[in-house]
Structure 1
Amino acid sequence: PGTEFELVGLEVDSGVSHTPLSHEELMRGARHRAEALVEVAQKSGLEWHYFVGLEGGLDIIHETASPHPTGQHSGLARGSRRRVLLESWAYVTDGARGHYGRSGGIELPEPLAHEVLENGTELAVAIDRFAGMVGIRDAQGAWGVLSGNLISRQEAFCLAVIAAFAPFYNQRMYRAEAVGASGLAS
C-alpha cells in the first residue's frame, strides 16, 4: 500500500503438472516459479526486490459425511463425496523469506471435474469444451466461466498475491513477538 512497483513478467517452469491436483502441488508450483525468478535475477545481475510465483489448479476434498456416494476417483470411500475446487496460489519472496497466499475456491461442476480427473484432460482444454468457447484461460479463465464473470482469473490471482505480500507490507502483525499471552503487542 502506498508504494509503486515496476512489474516484469517472465514465464518460468512450475515443476508441477499442467493441472495441479492438491493444495500441496499448487504451493510447490508457485514457490518453484518464484525461486526460479530469483535465479534468473541473480544470473542476470538484476536487482529485483520481490519475486512472485503463481500457480492455479485444483484441490480435491472428500466429504465423508455425505450420504450420497459418487465417483471412482482416488479410491473414494463409499458414502463420501468428492468436491473439486479451483484455486489460485501465489508465493512471494524477497530472496530471503517467502510467504504464500491463495484465492478463495470455486467448486467445479462434477462433469468438468470428471473430464479433468478421470479422463486426464488439462483444465484449460476442458473448460473450453465445457463452456463451448476458445481461449478461456487467457481471457476470464475458468474462474470467470464458473462465477458467471463475477470473479475473473486475474482477480483470483490478485487476491492470492495481496495475501502473499501481507507479511511484507504488514510487518507489525507478522513479527514473532507481535502476539503475546495477553494479546497483540502495541
Structure 2
Amino acid sequence: MRIVVGSKNPAKINAVKNACEHIRVELIGLDVPSGVSEQPFSDQETLEGAINRAKNAKEMAQVEIGIGLEGGVYEQGNQLYICNWGALCWDGGIVTAGGTRFALPEEIAVKLREGRELGPIMDEYSQERGIRYLKGAVGVFTSGWVNREEMFEHIVKTLIGQYMFRTRK
C-alpha cells in the first residue's frame, strides 16, 4: 500500500511511519497546500486544513491513500487551546480524527491573537529552533511527556483503524 503524507514535516511523517509499523506501506512525504491560514484559528479551519492536505497529497502523488495532519488553535471561553486534526483520503471516501487538546499559557495566546504563528512563537519562547519539527508546543508544555510526533501518531492510528473498518471485506 502506498501512502502519501501531505507534509515534509518530520514529526508528521514519523507519526505515520510509527502508526503503520505493523502493516507494509511505502511512505512518501509531499509538501501540499492546506488551503487554510498558516495559523489555523478554529477547530473547523484546522480540520479543513487536514482534509485539504489529504486530498491534495493523494491527487498529486497518485497513490492509494493520502493523509493530512494539521495543527491549530481555537478559543473556548477566554482560553486559547491547541487542537490537531487528521484526515485520510482514498478512492472510497475520507475519514477524520482529532487529537490532544490543552490550554496555552496566556503569554503565548496573546501573541497568537495578535496574528502571529505558533511555530515561531514557540521557538522564541523555548529559545530553540524548529520546535514544530520536533517536540512541538505539546512537548514544551507537557515537560516532554508527549511530543508532536506522538500526538499525531494517535490520530493516524485512529485514521488507519477507521479506514480498515470501512474497507474490510
| Counterpart contact for 2:80–2:104, Cα < 8 Å | yes
Q: Which has the higher helix share?
A: 2
Of 91, 106, 126 in structure 2, the residue corresponding to residue 95 of structure 1 is 91
What do residues 58-94 of structure 1 show as CA deviations (whole Å, max 9, x unaligned)? Answer: 12111xxxxxxxxxxxxxxxxxxx1211122110011
Q: Distance in 2 between matches of 1:136 and 1:95?
A: 34
Task: Give TM-score scaled by structure 2 length.
Answer: 0.81
The 5 A counterparts of 1:140-155 are 140-155=135-150
Superposed structure 1 runs of 4+ greater than 3 Å apart: none
State the identity as a percent. 30
Counterpart in 2 of 1:38? 58
1:29 shift after superposition: 0.3
Q: Distance in 2 between matches of 1:31 and 1:95?
A: 14
Can you give the 5+ residue segments of structure 1 that lack an aligned partner in the other structure? 43-47, 63-81, 175-186
1:7 shift after superposition: 0.9
The 5 A counterparts of 1:67-78 are none
Task: Give TM-score scaled by structure 1 length.
Answer: 0.74
Cα RMSD over matched residues?
A: 1.8
- Is the partner of 1:51 in helix, strand or coil? strand
1:54 shift after superposition: 1.0
Q: Give the number of the structure with larger relative contact order, counting CA–CA contacts within 8 Å between residues 6 or more apart.
A: 2
1:120 shift after superposition: 1.4
